[in-house]
Each structure stands twice: as C-alpha cells, then as structure tokens.
Structure 1
Amino acid sequence: MQRVASCTCGQLSITVEGEPRGVGLCHCLACQSRTGSAFAYLASFAAPYTVSGR
C-alpha cells in the first residue's frame, strides 16, 4: 500500500510504501510544543521513501 502525506499548503509531500513499523500517540511536553495540540499521532515507516517539493 502506498501512503502520501503533505503539508497544508501542498508544496511538500512524502510518499511511503508498505505497512507502518509502529504507530503511537504521545502527550509529552515536546510533542505538545511541536504540534500546538494536547497530543501527537506518530507513525514510523521503513525506507525507501520519496520526498517531493520544498
């Protein structure tokens, strides 16, 4: 399965293949600061991946 993630403006995207190695949900202060939310969803994928845009 191919998955594509992109920023809100659509200028930057990443494409990955396959199933995630792991998924998680974090509510530490670093993730709260990084996302501006009370928590962050995380997923890890094995290489290869393709980054497009700037």
Structure 2
Amino acid sequence: MLHLFLTGDYAKSIWTYFVAAVGIKGPFIQLTQAITQWWKADCSPKLKPLY
C-alpha cells in the first residue's frame, strides 16, 4: 500500500507535481503524514474541499 500510494516511481512523480503546485513541504515517510499535511494546508476556503 505504501509503495503504491507514496514511494513508488509513479506515486513520487504525482506527489512531486502536486506538492510543488500548492507549496506543501515533503518528503513524506508515511501515507498518514502526507494526508495530514494536505489536510492542514493553509489555502483558500474554496480550495479546501480539493485538498
């Protein structure tokens, strides 16, 4: 599960793309860390459902 959603080659490229776009800091060691960072991200109220 971790490899598929976080550490695999395709997962890394996807995370890198979106993390750079919204300015969230990585690297993420566990999937829960990544989800928590996105959940806590400071963003526009309109974009919060997308995060």
Query: Which range, TM-score by smaller chain?
Result: under 0.3
Higher strand residue share = 1
Higher helix residue share = 2
Return the TM-score normalized by structure 2. Answer: 0.24
Which protein, 1 or 2, shows the higher relative CO under an 8 Å CA cutoff with sep ≥ 6? 1
